[in-house]
Amino acid sequence: MTSTLDQTPQRRVQLSLLDRVSSVPWPLFILVIILGSIGVAMQYSAGGLAWEPFAGVHVLRLAIFFLLAVIAGLIDIRVWYRLAYIVFLITMVMLIAVPFIGEEFNSAKRWIDLRVMTLQPSELVQIGLIMTLARYFNNASWEELGNPLDLIFPIIVAAVPTYLIMEQPDLGTSLKLVACLGVVLFLAGLRWWLVMGGVGMVIGVSYWFIDRCLTAGFEAAGYQCRRVLVLFDSELDLSGAGYHIRQAKIAIGSGGVEGQGFGQGQHNQLGFTPENNTDFVWSLLAEEFGFIGCMVVLFLFSLLLLYGVVTALRARSQFGRLLAATLTANLFFYVVINIGMNMGLLPVVGMPLPFLSYGGSAMLATMGSVALLTSIWIHADVPVGEEGKTAR
């Protein structure tokens, strides 16, 4: 007779709709609502204390995408597993179409006009890539992770969209894709010597890029190089590449501890800080609500990221763990890069702040991440992939 201690817990394969609804991580959605509401307030202020042209659209997008995230979060995680490659393929087709039918803005061609909304495929391809990598490594063996030849497929899958996004040009998103690949490889159990080799390669390429920029000189340097060079000396081009960083730092500094008050941030209200509704919404927040307001928002983001980490730890399938952890890492990169470039710690690369910045594509991507995290949370005990076939 087998003892109770020798028996493994029965993993639930099928969940009813009632089971799924009762398991929804509502605190996660409450965090999204709070951050989104702060975003609405920032868009209202950025629009000159008016609902048009930013706040009204921001509210509408939040409502629609939030509802879609709740619905998508109730979908069985195995459905997302089967759709992983399809989602990546669809987003890649849109990304490939950008050079041919894309809209150009500020010397960058990144958007496709769908009439209903302007879509930025580079935001969506991140989700497709993460899903694809998580599925690929779901059943990867220890031997496969130690063989460099078995890593050719995931590297190529990540390299193609990275190259296309670099050509737009969009340095921030392309680097974020490389970072997500690194996170997946590390969490999947890649050998340490391969991890260290990859880190060494990244450091080498970074050194080469910075050295090339310095050697070329500011006047002869390209667009991306200038953004890097002004990071070390913002005085190089105060009216050009260094303008954004300088104005954002002035706005942040003028906010002090308590801020100047909602709608009272003179630097932003007078239009000195460009794009304060998108990439530089953090400077608007800092000027109006000060250090205290920034710390509150950072605390909310920390809770959101913590929820993602806990979701990854709860998942018993490799697909769920890798997907949740990498989506969380991607959200972390959003926050760190946006705040870093606002404070002059990182180059200006055009990175939105989740739920606060104005933009439909970024919000769709971040809400998609929340939906997948919800599905993983609900189906934490559901086997996925080959393991799921065995369980059935």
Q: pLDDT at position 266, please?
A: 84
Q: pLDDT at position 206, please?
A: 73
pTM exceeds 0.85: yes
Q: pLDDT at position 96, please?
A: 94
The 8 Å CB, 24+ separation contacts for 244-248 are 244/273, 244/274, 244/275, 244/279, 244/280, 244/348, 245/341, 245/344, 245/348, 247/272, 247/273, 247/274, 247/280, 247/283, 248/273, 248/280, 248/282, 248/283, 248/341, 248/342, 248/343, 248/344
Q: pLDDT at position 336, please?
A: 95
**228/216 Cα distance (integer angstroms):** 13
Q: pLDDT at position 169, please?
A: 79
| Helical spans, DSSP H, in 137-258 | 142-146, 152-166, 171-188, 192-216, 223-232, 243-255
Q: Pick out the chain residues at pLDDT < 70.
A: 1-12, 106-107, 142-144, 146, 214, 216-224, 231-241, 386-392
Torsion of CA 75, 80, 86, 92, to 10 degrees: 100
3-state SS string for 77-89: HHHHHHHHHHHHH
**138/160 Cα distance (integer angstroms):** 22
Task: Find all residues with CB under 8 Å of 244, minimum gap 6, and list them.
Answer: 273, 274, 275, 279, 280, 348
Q: pLDDT at position 248, please?
A: 87
